[in-house]
Amino acid sequence: MGEFGVINRITGRLTQGPDVLLGPGDDAAVLAAPDGRVAVTTDLLVEGRHFRRDWSSGYDIGRKAAAQNLADVAAMGARPTALVVGLGIPADTPVAWLDALTDGMRDECAEVGASVAGGDIVRADLVVLGVTALGDLGGRPPVTRSGARPGQLVAVTGRLGYAAAGLALLQAGHATEEFAELVAAHRRPRPPYRRGPEAAELGATAMLDVSDGLVQDLGHIAAASGVGVAVDPEALPVPETMRAAAAALGADPLDWVLGGGEDHALAAVFPAGTALPDEWRVIGRVVEGGGVQVAGRAAGRAGWDHFR
């Protein structure tokens, strides 16, 4: 199957949402931008670094690639509208795997009413995915990392530590049925997309997607806002299945909760006294100073850094 055959096969499996006025097939797509502004983010996923094909199906990888970008848009308080995708694949990639990848991206987009609007495909030595997501702010200002002020609440929504625990189980060859939920979380995150625009409407002063670990990402808010963040570890839930996995691997489950990021939870800062829905958990406060403290101690550099 040649390049155009592959592209036609991919586009034939996609559906287009209301924000895509002109989808794949021309030199560029055309999107509606009701707000007059567009939130844009991009991520690169490389085989062997961000996923392994012997651990994850094409469908899982498609959903994960879409999810981590859609979550970044939601973290700005925007509603995701579309993805464009650059794809590099080896020449011997099975067509069924490519179909599954496409279906995964399409189905993850469907969770938020977005769609894949276009992209490009090339031959490569391994699978590489470059995904760009776009979103609509709905007339609201973007929620950046720089608005936190001392005395405000720090809250999270979504899962923490699940994906990190699942990765540790896979690396240890301990991905048994007992820990299926954790392993599945590594393969396919479940970001709380709708909570991002909700946080903006509730008056969030700062927000981000927890992609590299709670401590490290809260450190980005602290640095951008010129403040400190104090986290109460007792406020961080550690489910029994994670405790059991930690016991099996000789690990501390709190390390996964504080340092694992690929669940793509959202962390946000709210004015003191804000009445938060049940989906949000207050885990700490913004304080004077800098950096992140956990139980009153400097947290160090927990989390993922590609160049460390």
Q: Is 211 annotated as a binding residue?
A: yes
Side-chain-side CA neighbours of 192 within 13 Å: the count stands at: 21
Residue 46: which residues within 8 A CB-CB, separation 6 or more?
Answer: 126, 127, 128
Q: Is 120 annotated as a binding residue?
A: yes
Q: Is 41 annotated as a binding residue?
A: yes
Bridge partners, 44 (sequence order): 130
Q: Is 174 annotated as a binding residue?
A: no
Q: Is 111 annotated as a binding residue?
A: no
Please give the full DSSP string across 6-46, using - where no structure is assigned: HHHHHHHT----TTEEE-BTBSS-EE--TTS--EEEEEEEE
**DSSP label of 258:** H
Measured between alpha carbons, how far is 112 from 30 in angstroms, rounded to an integer?
19
Q: Is 176 annotated as a binding residue?
A: no
Buried/exposed code over 228-253 (b: 16+ C-beta within 10 A; e: otherwise): bbbbeeeebebbebbeebbeebebeb
Beta carbons of 161 and 239 less than 8 angstroms apart: no
Residue 254: which residues within 8 A CB-CB, separation 6 or more?
Answer: 233, 236, 238
Q: Is 262 annotated as a binding residue?
A: yes
Q: Is 297 annotated as a binding residue?
A: no
Measured between alpha carbons, how far is 210 from 71 in angstroms, rounded to an integer?
9
Q: Is 125 annotated as a binding residue?
A: no
Backbone phi and psi for residue 162, each to the nearest 5 degrees, phi listed first: -65, -50
Q: Is 27 annotated as a binding residue?
A: yes
Measured between alpha carbons, how far is 263 from 35 in angstroms, rounded to an integer?
29
Q: Is 145 annotated as a binding residue?
A: yes
Q: Is 212 annotated as a binding residue?
A: yes
Residue 54: which residues within 8 A CB-CB, separation 6 or more?
Answer: none
- Show binding-site residues for substrate: 50, 262, 304
Q: Which residues are annotated as a binding site for Mg(2+)?
A: 27, 41-43, 72, 120, 209, 212
Residues of the binding site: 27, 41-43, 50, 72, 119-120, 145, 209, 211-212, 262, 304
Annotated binding residues for ATP: 119-120, 145, 211
